[in-house]
Each structure stands twice: as structure tokens, then as C-alpha cells.
Structure 1
Amino acid sequence: MSHSLGMAIESLVAALLILTIGYCMLLNKRLKRLKADESSLKATIAELITATEIAERAIGGLKHTVRDVNENLGNQLTAATQLSLQLKKQLAEGDNVVRRLARIATAARPSSETAPEPEAPNASSAKAIAAAAQAFSDRRRSNGLAA
């Protein structure tokens, strides 16, 4: 019996060894898959690092652009404000000039002299022409210009 007991133990060890070899093959496949995933993960990480560097450079460029635009916009706003004030002053001066011109025109117009009334429709045209010529000549003389 000792021989059959030895044989049973050897058979059991052989079976366990076969199970161990099968399990090792399964673990080997899983390790290969894990290695393949690791290399793809490394490639993904490398791409992510590259994209991050590009984004950082782009952000730096945008910050610089924003700074430049802010300076230019500030300068343009200041210039526009100054131009607006200058235009406001010029408009006020123009308004003053127009008021003075209106006062001068009002003062230059004789207050007693009015435009001749149009003749009645049945009056002769020669009378109307003579009256218009007289009014024109009076106006010229009052302004200091001889006709």
C-alpha cells in the first residue's frame, strides 16, 4: 500500500502542478494585456502632456494679447473722451457764433423798414417793378452800399 499511497500523492502533486501551470498561463495572458494597456496609457499621458503644454503657451499668448488690447483700448477711450470734450467745446463756440451772427443780423435790419406789401392783383406791373426797385435801392443805401 505504500506504493499506491505514494502513487496517489504523486498523482495529486501532478494534478496540482497541471492546475498551477494552467493558472500561470492565465496570469501570463492577463499580464500581457496589462502591459499593452500600460503602453497605451503611457502614449495617452504623453499626448495629454503635449496638449497641456500647447494650452499653456496659448494661454500665455492670450494673456499678452489681452494686456495689449487693454492698453490700446484705454488709450483709445482716453483719446475719444478728449475728442468728445473738444467737440463739445467747439459746438458751444459755434452756437455762440451763430447767436452773435443772429444778433448782428437783427441789429443790421432796420426796424422801421418793412418789406413792401405786394400790390393788388389789378395794379399795373410797372408800378410793382418801380416799387421793388425803390425798396431795393433804399435797402442798399441803409447798409452803406450805393447801388
Structure 2
Amino acid sequence: MKTFAQIIAIATLTTSSIFANPIAGETNVNANKTNNFAIGMYQSVGTLDMHLTLDKVVGKAVTVTIKDKDGKVIHNERIAKSARSYHGKFDLQALNDGTYSVEITDGTEKITRTININSAKPQEVTRTIVVE
């Protein structure tokens, strides 16, 4: 039981929330898709690794930029015109708790997602077993 409690405590300590939310007010059902590219974002289970997948039209370069809440560029990457797809893995472990934005643009169209990083506080397991 002690090992189980330790596993729960470790999982709780290391788990953070990363959310990829659409732009406020955006009502497009294809919010992850433009005419020239489509994206997908997800978090690796139990880590602060964020994955970005991108399918795009050949002949258009796409730029991926991660910014903090003040607009400071944390990461900037250009995907070549000749590429058809891209998979980026971003380790967000070193980032402080807060709100960050991911901008994906080809110069004419842009998709922006918000990422919230929050450290979970440990919670004590208070379950008991009673045998009668």
C-alpha cells in the first residue's frame, strides 16, 4: 500500500496541465485547419513534452513560434517549402507555470493556440480498508 501511495504522490507531483484551446471567439469547426496547413497538438502522458504535427501544402513555408504571455519568443522554427509534414516535440519542463502561445503561420494564414502550464500540488491519499 505504501508503494501505491508513493506512485500516486509521484504521479500527482509530476502531472501538469497543458491545454490547447482555440482562439477566443473562434467558431470554425475546422479550427485546426487552414487552406494551406492543418495541425494537431497533444501532450505525452506523464511528461511536459508537447507534440505538434503539421501537414502542409508543398511550396509554402510555415513558421512555428512559441511565445510567453509577454510576447517574448521562446522558440521559433521554419518548416521548409519542400516539406509535406512536420512533427515537433517540445520539452516544456524548463518553463515556469503560466500561459504561453503557439503560433503557426504561412504568412497569410495563422492558427494560434494557448498553452497553460500549471503545477499540481500533491494530495495525500486518505482511503482505508475495513475488514469485518
Give the TM-score band, short-chain normalised: under 0.3
The answer to which structure has the higher helix fraction is: 1
TM-score normalised by length of structure 1: 0.21
Bigger relative contact order (CA 8 A; separation at least 6): 2
Q: Hey, which of these two has a bigger chunk of strand by percent?
A: 2
Which structure has the greater CA radius of gyration?
Answer: 1
What is the TM-score when the length of structure 2 is the normalising length? 0.23
